[in-house]
Amino acid sequence: MAQSMRDIKRRIRSFENMRKITKAMKMVAAAKLRRAQEQAEAARPYADKLREVIINLAQGTNSKHPMLISRPVKKTGYLVITSDRGLAGGYNSNLLRMLTQTLNKRHKSKDEYVIFVIGRKGRDFLKKRNYPVIAERTGLPDSPVFSDVKEIAGQAVGYYAEEKFDELYIMYNQFVNPVVQRPVEKRLLPLESDDLQETSPGVKTFYEYEPSEEQVLAEILPRYAETLIFSALLDGKASEFAAKMTAMSSATDNATEMIADLTIQFNRARQAAITQEIAEIVGGAAAL
């Protein structure tokens, strides 16, 4: 019984140490989540202004830029945004499950698509199963800047412009609120007609372009697509920290419950040991 009590006390100390760690990780994730939300919100005005200029250009010219024209789909590109680390609940598993289900449903063979992946978790998952990963980016900081993903974003957009594939989808976890993060799939290229419509009525701004509207459009469209990728990355980072905060909160609550249960077990074991000792003393006295 004494050995059992020592084991219970050892387990209680172990869960108490674990609770301290998970509580600290929850607080760190909450702080990083606030910064990630602020960064995502700060990036939106630039994307909105780019979109406004592109709408003005697309409506004012008869440009046949490949990013604006749909073509027969022979091959598809996917850009998947995951995390480098785990301990984030279903953040990565839900997204990768959606990806594999989409690929199995939409394509008959792996020759019909290529994958660009951001994040070590996604890279390891896809390469282990021999998916056609042609570019990867890992080791991103907690507060990424555009230069961190410019290479892979430019590569994905450039491959589409070179017609190495005929459409490009982006998959990431959309941040809804600190409790809900939703895996989503969006078609990035070609830009859909709905993306190039005015969203709010009002006074229309007129621009003068130099050297020409067509040349400016050809220059700005790739940047707009890369900006959408970066915006999705920031949204994914906010979702990652929210998922980590939720997971660590659940782990802390579970550790607290385990400590309470083990404390009850310890008290019962101690009470049983005391009762047995009293019974032995009474029995010895009666024998004398």
Which residues lie below 8 Å from residue 121, measured CB to CB, with a gap of 6+?
82, 83, 84, 85, 86, 92, 96
Return the closest-CA partner of residue 171 out of 183, 154, 189: 183
∠ CA 130-134-139 to the nearest 5 degrees? Answer: 95
What confidence score (pLDDT) does residue 192 get? 64
What confidence score (pLDDT) does residue 258 get? 92
Q: Domain locations in the chain?
A: 27-195+206-246
Which residues lie below 8 Å from residue 137, measured CB to CB, with a gap of 6+?
117, 118, 119, 148, 149, 151, 152
Full DSSP string of the chain:
-HHHHHHHHHHHHHHHHHHHHHHHHHHHHHHHHHHHHHHHHHHHHHHHHHHHHHHHHHHH-----GGG-----S-EEEEEE--SS--STTHHHHHHHHHHHHHHHH-SSGGGEEEEEESHHHHHHHHHTT--EEEEE----SS--HHHHHHHHHHHHHHHHTTSSSEEEEEEEEE-SSS-EEEEEEEEESPPGGGGS-SS-SPPP----SS-HHHHHHHHHHHHHHHHHHHHHHHHHHHHHHHHHHHHHHHHHHHHHHHHHHHHHHHHHHHHHHHHHHHHHHHHHHH-
Ordered mean pLDDT values, 10 residues apiece, the chain (288 residues):
75 92 93 90 81 71 72 92 90 94 92 94 94 93 90 90 90 89 90 58 62 76 87 92 93 93 88 80 74
Residues 79 and 122: beta-carbon distance below 8 Å: no
Task: Say how many CA atoms lie within 13 Å of 179 toward its Cβ.
Answer: 1
Q: How many CB atoms lie within 10 A of CB 231?
A: 18
Expressed in angstroms, the distance from the first to the final Cα of the chain is: 27
Fold of the CATH domain 27-195+206-246? Pyruvate Kinase; Chain: A, domain 1 (3.40.1380)
What confidence score (pLDDT) does residue 272 get? 81
* Structure-derived torsion over alpha carbons of residues 190, 166, 120, 123, reported in degrees to the nearest 10: 160
Which residues lie below 8 Å from residue 126, measured CB to CB, with a gap of 6+?
80, 96, 115, 117, 133
> How far apart (Å, rounded) are the C-alpha atoms in residues 36 and 210?
36
What confidence score (pLDDT) does residue 49 get? 79
What confidence score (pLDDT) does residue 1 get? 46
What confidence score (pLDDT) does residue 135 get? 92
What confidence score (pLDDT) does residue 117 get? 95
> How far apart (Å, rounded) are the C-alpha atoms in residues 82 and 80?
6
What confidence score (pLDDT) does residue 62 get? 63
Which tokens go with 134? Answer: 């042609």
Matching residue, tokens 């994905």:
156
Residue type, 127: K
∠ CA 241-243-244 to the nearest 5 degrees? Answer: 65
